[in-house]
Amino acid sequence: MSDNVIISLAPVAADCPTVIPEEVANEILASVEHGAAIVHLHVRDKQGRLTPNTQDFEATIAPVMAQSDLIIQASTGGVSPMSIQERCAPLACAGVEMASLNVGSVNLGDNVYFNPTPDVEYCSREIVKRTIIPEFEVFEIGMINNILALQEKIPFKTPMLFNIVLGHRGSSPATIDALIALRSMIPRDALWGITHYGRQNFDIIAAAVGMGACEVRIGFEDSYYLSAKEKATQNYQQVKKLATIIRSMDKTVATPDIARQMLSIPPRQRA
């Protein structure tokens, strides 16, 4: 069990009415100062809508890459009518080093998050052929079996990173029992992390860190809360609190350099 814990920042909420690249970049860079080592970004337009047009996405990550060694993770997910080819658009963007990979369909609130097997395999091959590192999103226990079956077909780099996602209405609840059940199915030679959607406190996150999670995703994409009685106004406040919790458990907040070593991602090549 590693004592290093990676903080992954997902800074943009799905219901955000405006997404300005410069503002998002500044939020990301402020969070780097407090311990973020990865940024998880969907491709959105300035009205916050998911889109295959990567112009604003690239405008967001350019200053981040220029001013930090933060790992850039593109999302290939999100509930939308886009085709899998459109969802994979950010994989072609310069600087993308990781990508979220969704491996099955699931109910999210009133919506169906549609990820049929042919789409999953297409996305997997697009990720691998670009030597991008996948983060496997685990909303339900059967998705872990999907990942292991997929591994027999596609040569993913190891160690593989499984991200347990709890708290979405219609999917796995944010409970200790659910966390233990999902963790029990993940291979012991793999890395794993936690995302708590709709979080109002840090109890599940702290439990996951105590159980050996090597990554925690935090940020406005999943919750605005710092505590049950207080909302954050900026993402870095959540990152700062999470870093404090990690250190209070006698663990180390992984720098981008350490995170790269853990995930087998080479140093970024400077122009």
Domain 4-263 fold is TIM Barrel (3.20.20)
CB contact at 8 A, 8 and 37: yes
Which pLDDT score is estimated for 271?
Answer: 59
* Other beta carbons less than 10 A from residue 165's beta carbon: 25
Q: Which of helix, strand or coil describes residue 224?
A: coil
**What would the pLDDT profile of 131-174 be if each residue is shown by its tens digit?**
999 999 999 999 999 999 999 999 999 999 999 999 999 999 99
Peptide bond into 159 cis (omega under 30): yes
Task: Summarize pLDDT for 28-58 with one digit per residue, the tens.
Answer: 999 999 999 999 999 999 999 999 999 999 9
Rounded Cα gap, residues 115 and 90, in angstroms: 18
Q: Domain-by-domain residue ranges, the chain?
A: 4-263
Distance of CA 138 to the CA centre of its chain: 11
Residue burial 30-54, b: 16+ Cβ < 10 Å; e: rest: bbbebbbbbbbbbbbeeebebbeeb
| pTM across the whole model | 0.97
CA torsion sign, 243 to 9 to 91 to 185? positive
